[in-house]
Amino acid sequence: TTTRGPARCCSAVETKISPLFTLGKKFHLDDVIEAQQFDRDTLNAIFEVAREMEEIEMNPSGSQILKGFIMATLFYEPSTRTRLSFECAMKRLGGEVLTTENAREFSSAAKGETLEDTIRTVEGYSDIIVLRHFESGATRRAAATASIPVINAGDGPGQHPTQALLDIYTIDREISKLDGIKVALVGDLANGRTVRSLAYLLAKYKDVKIYFVSPEVVKMKDDIKDYLTSEGVEWEESADLIDVASKCDVVYQTRIQKERFGERTDLYEEARGKYIVDSDVLDVMQKHAVVMHPLPRLDEITVDVDLDPRAAYFRQAKNGLYIRMALLKLLLVGW
Amino acid sequence: TTTRGPARCCSAVETKISPLFTLGKKFHLDDVIEAQQFDRDTLNAIFEVAREMEEIEMNPSGSQILKGFIMATLFYEPSTRTRLSFECAMKRLGGEVLTTENAREFSSAAKGETLEDTIRTVEGYSDIIVLRHFESGATRRAAATASIPVINAGDGPGQHPTQALLDIYTIDREISKLDGIKVALVGDLANGRTVRSLAYLLAKYKDVKIYFVSPEVVKMKDDIKDYLTSEGVEWEESADLIDVASKCDVVYQTRIQKERFGERTDLYEEARGKYIVDSDVLDVMQKHAVVMHPLPRLDEITVDVDLDPRAAYFRQAKNGLYIRMALLKLLLVGW
Amino acid sequence: TTTRGPARCCSAVETKISPLFTLGKKFHLDDVIEAQQFDRDTLNAIFEVAREMEEIEMNPSGSQILKGFIMATLFYEPSTRTRLSFECAMKRLGGEVLTTENAREFSSAAKGETLEDTIRTVEGYSDIIVLRHFESGATRRAAATASIPVINAGDGPGQHPTQALLDIYTIDREISKLDGIKVALVGDLANGRTVRSLAYLLAKYKDVKIYFVSPEVVKMKDDIKDYLTSEGVEWEESADLIDVASKCDVVYQTRIQKERFGERTDLYEEARGKYIVDSDVLDVMQKHAVVMHPLPRLDEITVDVDLDPRAAYFRQAKNGLYIRMALLKLLLVGW
């Protein structure tokens, strides 16, 4: 059991079962496990706190909101971008960080210790755990075990909810609305958990239209299409990026994941060059529209695009900081 | 030479030779090298400070006792559990941490630099060094070189004194006494430095009785048995875990270390399943008795045991934090 | 773009082109890229701040000059000595640190992300970047991209300017002058970037005489010799270490870099034993002269030399801390 006063209020074990959030007199957020756990009100609340975090981050004297709290970043596979973003978030709020960059070779895991046992030990040394794991569902297991909050920083092919949150937050910040937007999801739609989570969250908004633009071998899977249909979200597949880009508010490009093609490098090379965001795409895009990308990018967005103000992907990466600051604040000291 | 004011008083080079402790007007602790260096009075003093640390850790506003001090965790082999425990201890007291998780591939060590040269460099960048090394005796060499305190966080097959301290502290916290206790050491008694160190420390208390319960291939070695006999500690070997468990205050289970069996996996498998702490063992244990384990555990304690209040192993892991907080305070700012 | 108030003044993008420094009402230092960027006035200014840092480091209550600032140590190859030195510097001044010890296996770099994209992401999570890279010129590219200061912590066979600065600073602290000194550069002069950078900086002072003492296979290359000649610096090659040592103020020994010899271990072994600094060398050295070494050392300086007060190499390592503290202060909050 945790013994840190402020943490206790936010990690009540008895409310571990869904709904993970209750909006009332006090906003409750116990763990961050998957994109689906968030409803519109919760998203709005998180985004409101994230906006406050932008102010705090700009303040050179910094913040001490989380002074005295320790975050353990327990990463079973390396992801420096995500890790640095979380660790920066904690430090910008005055908190402390314990890091395990490669917990898979963690002597204990290597010796056969269960994730549950590891969590029971690490929760004794920290106030919140940020978990990156190679197995889908690992965060849910960790959260069920831990008496302190757990944040999913990506678990295998499963979820990466803070990425989904920062994506939606970026659209809101860049386009100033979420209802009624048109979004193109481009590239590797079969393997990218990013676009899958984003599609889930977009379904919470009204009159959203989604275009899927991808090579045949990596097209969006039926489960997401069926989900969108069941939620009344309009979607269509298209092979014409220029046409789609001219209509959309957001062109969300993704990297073709070479590692998923195995020895079929011919298929990879074919898929890779098919839909590139370049100056031709920019030329047809509306003035208020933006290009997004979860990064890292290879050449699926040409570097000349970077100079256009509609290139939002580095601002998007920065928004990850604000979202993670907001989540840490909400999980550790509450609304 | 160290130039940090407060550290100087605790790292007097001229008193590096034993006795490492002098209890008088001022309690002195220069380095933590091996379990044998502690006498009963010193153990009592450390445990008293550890109890204060429990209070400090529970205080949400935290402590700044070690503000301005830097601890370097110089780990030549990974041990995330031990490292996180030390780093949390330093941060809970307001101190800072520099981490080297894999100093063995440290470019300098790889290039042939001696441990002594590395220590002379690192002591310029820190106020205390926590050393984990693959060679027995490494900490003693480091402490002889350094003008700042050095703590042994495990050196090869040799010592792991902070584990021994937290084990004894846990028994004291759980059973409320150390004199007159009966302790079963179970499992891999040949290879586990934990049980060897624990046996040494138990010998400092009165009327202790130790039971060794282990597969034949990994039974306790004669040096420890001879030492216990010479110190007047009663011990016996037994093959009947149920009988022993019914008599003991502490059942200290350990993992059979597969890595020591080499290619003889048949011997490993045979040894591994022989003495399991499960509900049958719990059933015969006294109400006040506890099950301990240095962790990680595999299946030598079944998971259903976790739910019993007598399962003390996760509390034991947490006690490691308090013991390390106490040692850091004693080494850096004194009694 | 950076949003941190205090950092902004020191990272004006419009002054990224050389001269990197302007000494006037306000001292400006934007990035630390190479030894050649520093003129005598700048060096004097840095050394003056480094002296202040010695005072600060000795003060047990510490400093909060850089409170609220975050340094990202982005290391594409491990160099624990340099990393710990920078991280200690930041923490001694009250700043925070984010660490990437092996950015080469950084998932993003491994996936083909450019250094520029990585920098654009990391600058969103920090106020200053310390970059160690395997490619010559990497820091210059990073600094051209980043809107926050970048420090070169070694880029491949290229530059390691903070090492050169601490070397010059050490000579100044030990010998109390830089004009008119005689310096022996000994050992591997072909492969060591340290001695090359040091030669560049020494050329900024008057009446310096440099002696090159090295095995034939690793002698100083012509570009440096030509540069010294063009700058009017006297130099000569010698095979007689004893004779040279008797005349010099500084004997700067270096390690023969085995990794550069490939399979020709015979050549390595021959080169390695040729010029050793031992008690015979000490015997002929002047009383005020010093032995320096960038570390790590193998047996090119015998361990008995360590006990002589003229052995300056561990003080030299410590000076690296003061120089890095000074640079961090100058880059983040200015003069």
Is residue B106 within 8 A of residue C83, CB to CB? The reply is no
Q: What pLDDT sits at residue C21?
A: 44
pLDDT at B6: 37
Q: What angle do CA C306, C309, C313 make, to 5 degrees?
A: 55
Mutate to test the interface with A, among C65, C121, C128 (most CBs of A within 10 A): C121
Q: What does the alpha-carbon distance between residue A119 and residue A138 come to, in Å, rounded to a whole number?
A: 11
DSSP letter (8 states) at residue A311: B
Q: Which of C40, C12, C5 is nearest to C26 (CA)?
A: C12
Q: What does the DSSP 8-state code read for residue A77?
A: S
Question: Contact C126/C98 with Cβ under 8 angstroms?
Answer: yes
Q: What is the mean pLDDT of chain B?
A: 89
Is the bond preceding residue A60 a cis peptide, omega within 30 degrees?
no
Say if C67 is an interface residue toward chain B (CB within 8 Å): no
- pLDDT(C124) > 90: yes
The answer to whether residue B17 scores a pLDDT higher than 90 is: no
Helix, strand, or coil (residue C69): coil
Lowest mean pLDDT segment, chosen from A267-276, C115-124, C240-249: A267-276
**CB-based contact C297 B68, cutoff 8 Å:** no
By C-alpha distance, the chain C residue nearest A303 is C117
- Cβ <8 Å between B98 and C87: yes
B1 and C CB contact within 8 Å: no
Query: Measured between beta carbons, which residues in chain A are less than 8 angstroms from residue C101?
Result: 101
Residue B181 has pLDDT above 80, yes or no: yes
Interface check for B242 against chain C (CB to CB < 8 A): the answer is no
Q: How far is A59 from chain B (nearest CA, A)?
A: 23
Residues B297-311: pLDDT tens digits?
999 999 999 999 999
For A281, counting Cβ atoms within 10 Å of its Cβ (0-12 exposed, 13-18 middle, 19+ buried), the class is buried
Nearest to A296 among C67, C101, C111 (CB): C111
Q: Which pLDDT score, from 0 to 100, does residue C106 have? A: 61
Provide, as residue numbers in chain B, all residues whose Cβ is less than 8 Å from the Cβ of C77: 107
* High-pLDDT (> 70) share of chain B, %: 90
Those residues with Cβ within 8 angstroms of residue B151's Cβ, 6 or more apart along the chain or in another chain: B31, B32, B86, B128, B129, B130, B131, B139, B162, B327, B331
What integer is the mean pLDDT of C206-226?
Answer: 96
Inter-chain residue contact A68 with B62, CB threshold 8 Å? yes
Place C27 in a pLDDT band, splitting at 50, 70 and 90. Answer: low
Q: What is the pLDDT of residues A154-208, one digit of tens each?
A: 998 878 999 999 999 999 999 999 999 999 999 999 988 899 989 999 999 999 9
Which pair of structure tokens corresponds to residue C29?
């230092």
For residue B296, is the peptide bond before it cis, meaning its omega torsion is within 30 degrees of 0? yes
Measured in whole angstroms, how far is the alpha carbon of residue C217 from the centre of its chain? 25
Please give the mean pLDDT across all residues of chain C: 89
Higher pLDDT, residue A25 or B236: B236
Average pLDDT of the segment spanning C100-108: 73
In this prediction, residue A232 carries a pLDDT of 96
Neighbours of A65 (CB within 10 A): 17
Is B126 close to C88, i.e. CB distance below 8 A?
yes
Q: Mean per-residue pLDDT for C38-45?
A: 93
* CA C149 distance to own-chain centroid: 17
Question: What is the C-alpha to C-alpha distance for residues C202 and C47, in angstroms, rounded to an integer?
Answer: 15
Alpha-helical (H) ranges within A5-137 are: 5-8, 40-58, 80-92, 107-110, 115-122
- Cβ of A88 within 8 Å of Cβ of C6? The answer is no
C118 is catalytic: no
* Of the candidates C173, C181, C166, C190, the residue with the CA atom closest to the CA atom of residue C260: C190
Q: Is C28 a catalytic residue?
A: no
CB contact under 8 A, B4 and C60: yes
CA distance A79 to C111: 11
Catalytic residue among C92, C141, C160, C329: C160
A22 forms beta bridges with A28
At residue B37, the pLDDT reads: 92
Instruction: List, in order, residues 6 or more apart from C149 with CB less than 8 Å away.
Output: C7, C10, C11, C29, C30, C31, C32, C127, C128, C129, C143, C331, C332
Confidence band, pLDDT 50/70/90 cuts, at residue B209: very high
- Chain B interface disruption, residue of C54, C84, C104, C160, most B CBs within 10 A: C84
For the segment C56-67, the average pLDDT, to the nearest whole number, is: 90
Check whether B115 has a pLDDT greater than 50.
yes
Distance CA A78, CA B8 (A): 39
User: How far apart (Å, rounded) are the C-alpha atoms in residues A61 and C4?
Assistant: 9
Contacts of residue C84 in chain B, CB cutoff 8 Å?
A: 72, 98, 100, 122, 125-126
Of C60, C79, C91, the CB nearest to B96: C91
- The amino acid that residue B289 corresponds to is A
Contacts of C88 in chain B (CB under 8 A): 70, 98, 125-126
Q: Which residues of B touch A115 (CB under 8 A)?
A: none
Lowest mean pLDDT among B89-93, B133-137, C99-103, C106-110: C106-110
Residues of B annotated as part of the active site? 81-82, 111, 132, 160
What DSSP designation does C287 have? T
A 295-324: CB under 8 A from C: 295-298, 314, 317-318, 321
Q: How confident is the model at residue C19 (pLDDT cuts 50, 70, 90)?
A: very low
Q: Which two tokens stand for residue C37?
A: 């960027």
Residues A294 and A167: beta-carbon distance below 8 Å: yes
pTM for this entry: 0.91
The number of beta carbons lying within 10 Å of the beta carbon of residue B140 is 18
What distances in angstroms separate CA A281 from CA A58, A182, B13, C326, one per listed residue? 34, 16, 70, 48
Identify the segments of chain A with pLDDT beneath 50: 1-26
* Strands, E assignment, A174-332: 182-186, 209-213, 234-237, 250-253, 290-292
On whether any CB of chain C is under 8 Å from the CB of A127, the answer is no
Of B68, B118, B126, the CB nearest to C62: B68
- Per-residue pLDDT band at C107 (split at 50, 70, 90): low
Torsion C140-C146-C147-C148 (CA) sign: negative
- pLDDT reported for residue B106: 62
Torsion of CA A33, A38, A44, A50, to 10 degrees: 10
Angle ∠(C304,C310,C311) on CA atoms, nearest 5: 50
- Highest mean pLDDT among B20-29, C16-25, C218-227 belongs to C218-227
Residues of chain A contacting residue C96, judged by C-beta atoms under 8 Å apart: 91
Determine how many CB atoms are found less than 10 A away from the CB of residue C206: 11
Does C6 contact A60 at a Cβ distance shorter than 8 Å?
yes
CB-based contact, C125 to chain B, within 8 Å: no
Q: So what's the pLDDT on residue C254?
A: 96
By the CB < 8 Å criterion, does C68 face chain A?
yes
Q: Which chains touch C (3 or more CB pairs under 8 A)?
A: A, B
Instruction: Return the structure tokens found at B67.
Output: 């503000």
To the nearest whole Å, the CA of B85 is away from the closest chain A CA by 6
Contact C91 B98 (CB under 8 A): yes
Whether omega for the bond prior to residue C19 falls within 30 degrees of 0, making it cis, is: yes
- B120/C317 Cβ within 8 A: yes
Residues of chain C with pLDDT > 90, as a percent, come to 75
Residue from C81, C221, C264, C288 carrying the catalytic annotation: C81
Q: What is the ipTM of this complex?
A: 0.91
A139 touching C (Cβ < 8 Å): no
Give the pLDDT confidence score for residue A152 in this predicted structure: 97
Chains near B with 3+ CB pairs less than 8 A apart are A, C
Interface test with A, best of B80, B101, B260, B302 (most A CBs within 10 A): B80
Positive or negative, the CA dihedral C294, C296, C298, C302 is: positive
- Can you tell me the mean pLDDT for B96-122? 85
Q: Which residues of A73-101 are buried (b: 16+ CB within 10 A; e: fewer)?
A: bbbbebbbbbbbbbbbbbbbbbbbbbbbb
At C111 the three-state DSSP class reads coil
Closest CB from B60, B79, B91 relative to A4:
B60
Q: Do C124 and A314 touch (CB under 8 A)?
A: yes
pLDDT grade for C226, boundaries at 50, 70 and 90:
very high
Confidence category of residue C13, pLDDT binned at 50, 70, 90: very low
pLDDT of residue B189: 94
